[in-house]
């Protein structure tokens, strides 16, 4: 099929369709798993294992799809990723079984490649729309995640499995939009390093496994310690292989770029709370109030409405970020996003006993989420050479995934150490968790202070290095 879109608003519109598919896919299954699990005979442990499998696939596919896109063409790999997501969504909807759920969710994990690959096309074909385009895409992603879960839950109220069809039409639309996109003009080079890919895949998979399962295994158990040690050994071996390779999977010199390092560290810190606490958010909203006023006792529909309000705030934060960056600068935007996240969590620590109080703090967290996702994705595109665009965005996506996973693990650990005899989380457990998220967000603000744009970067020696060059 001949490409029909080359740049401008048409290009952004086609990309929005693809990103909306990504958001729906990421949001629609979560509220359905209990009902679907009961239908196919998968209990709570099995549902958690499905989620774990999906998270590992997310983490593993991020560097692979990004690197393949930079090597073999962003549009070509985007078509592969979108096709995998569409097939996985159809497989789950048409024949829901334990096996098809597992296979379908792994295929759907290819959505993790959408943003890096779209960033490569956008930078190549319409660089003048880079920041605004990225902010709009982030906003569309956040809204569609919330809307996907709400629509799926509403459909399943009528028929238990009807919600499984939510992602199917969006997958078809995304495939058509991907076919309409132009090919990237970015230079392609290098060979795929299979040994480095296997080591990185194993290391990231083991790291994600221990972060998600460490709470249930026990952080000091043999399983946790062995899995953590395996992750460390594999990642160290990967670094050694990459340093000696003429064709590395990931250019480690790129990771030593102080600008990309600051952006990725900021992403990690803000994602720790803003995304890592989302599961805890639903638990608190749905828990009946205890004697100290912790818990709000909301139903599923009310919880979904609060989530929608948070993503609407995220959309606002995302769309305002490019304008803020022009007014106050990138570094100040990063600092402001971290401070906003900290303020939101501190608000939850202090004011949480009524729905309006809680929603006020949650909306500030949602605003910070949109700000950091828009700013860091745009900056991760700009700080490297065009040939490494997708991989740079992929590094930022990995930082987001790992930050969110570690945040969820820390929240779970704090909860488990503050429970009643009946297993309910105490008020202290909630407050410690919100405090940990606030402190980490402040750490993200501090990291933001280290970011330097070319205009304010300190000059060392006789010349200033060119923007985007790697060591």
- Condensed to tens digits (0 to 9), the pLDDT of residues 88-133 reads 999 999 988 888 888 999 999 999 889 888 888 888 777 766 677 7
Per-residue DSSP letter, 425: B
CATH number for the segment(s) 251-454: 1.20.1250.20
Greatest mean pLDDT among 47-61, 109-123, 165-179, 205-219 lies in 165-179
* Assigned token pair, 346: 């501190």
- Condensed to tens digits (0 to 9), the pLDDT of residues 407-451 reads 887 887 888 778 777 667 888 888 998 999 999 999 999 999 998
pTM: 0.77
Contact 362, 285 (CB under 8 A): no
As its CATH architecture, domain 1-187 has Up-down Bundle (1.20)
Backbone angles phi, psi at 425, to 5 degrees: -75, 135
What distance in Å separates the CA atoms of residue 87 and residue 92, rounded to the nearest whole number?
A: 9
Nearest to 273 by CA among 407, 446, 429, 372: 407
Contacting residues for 150 by C-beta, under 8 A, at least 6 apart: 304, 305, 307, 308
Nearest to 17 by CA among 186, 128, 153, 179: 179
3-state secondary structure at position 395: helix
pLDDT, mean of residues 315-324: 90
More confident residue, 395 or 158: 395
């Amino acid at each position: 099929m001949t490409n029909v879109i080359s740049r401008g608003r048409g290009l952004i519109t086609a990309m929005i369709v693809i990103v909306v598919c990504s958001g729906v896919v990421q949001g629609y299954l979560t509220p359905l798993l209990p009902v679907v699990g009961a239908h196919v005979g998968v209990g709570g442990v099995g549902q958690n294992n499905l989620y774990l499998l999906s998270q590992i696939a997310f983490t593993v596919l991020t560097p692979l799809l990004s690197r393949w896109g930079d090597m073999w063409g962003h549009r070509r790999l985007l078509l592969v990723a979108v096709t995998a997501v569409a097939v996985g969504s159809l497989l789950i909807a048409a024949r829901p079984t334990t096996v098809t759920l597992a296979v379908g969710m792994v295929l759907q994990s290819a959505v993790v490649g959408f943003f890096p690959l779209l960033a490569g096309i956008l930078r190549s074909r319409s660089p003048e729309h880079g920041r605004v385009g990225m902010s709009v895409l982030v906003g569309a992603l956040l809204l569609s995640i919330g809307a996907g879960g709400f629509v799926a839950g509403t459909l399943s109220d009528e028929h238990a499995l009807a919600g499984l069809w939510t992602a199917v039409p969006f997958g078809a639309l995304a495939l058509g939009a991907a076919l309409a996109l132009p090919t990237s003009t970015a230079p392609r080079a290098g060979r795929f390093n299979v040994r480095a890919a296997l080591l990185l895949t194993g290391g990231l998979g083991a790291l994600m496994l221990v972060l998600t399962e460490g709470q249930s295994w026990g952080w000091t158990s043999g399983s946790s310690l062995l899995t953590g040690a395996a992750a460390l050994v594999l990642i160290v071996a990967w670094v050694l292989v990459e340093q000696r390779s003429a064709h590395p999977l990931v250019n480690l010199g790129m990771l030593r770029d102080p600008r990309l390092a600051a952006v990725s560290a900021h992403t990690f810190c803000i994602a720790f709370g803003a995304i890592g606490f989302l599961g805890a958010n639903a638990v608190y909203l749905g828990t009946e109030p205890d004697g100290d006023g912790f818990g709000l006792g909301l139903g599923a529909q009310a919880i979904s409405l609060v989530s929608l309000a948070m993503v609407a705030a995220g959309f606002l934060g995302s769309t305002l970020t490019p304008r803020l960056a022009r007014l106050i600068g990138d570094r100040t935007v990063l600092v402001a996003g971290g401070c906003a996240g900290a303020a939101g969590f501190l608000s939850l620590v202090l004011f949480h006993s009524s729905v309006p109080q809680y929603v006020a703090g949650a909306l500030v967290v949602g605003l910070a989420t949109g700000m950091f996702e828009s700013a860091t994705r745009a900056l991760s595109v700009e700080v490297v050479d065009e040939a490494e665009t997708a991989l740079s965005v992929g590094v930022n996506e990995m930082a987001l995934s790992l930050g969110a996973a570690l945040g969820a693990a820390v929240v779970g650990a704090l909860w488990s150490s503050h429970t009643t005899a009946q297993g309910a989380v105490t008020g202290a457990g909630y407050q410690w968790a919100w405090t940990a998220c606030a402190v980490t967000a402040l750490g993200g603000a501090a990291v933001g202070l280290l970011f330097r744009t070319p205009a304010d970067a300190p000059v060392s020696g006789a010349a200033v290095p060119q923007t985007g060059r790697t060591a």
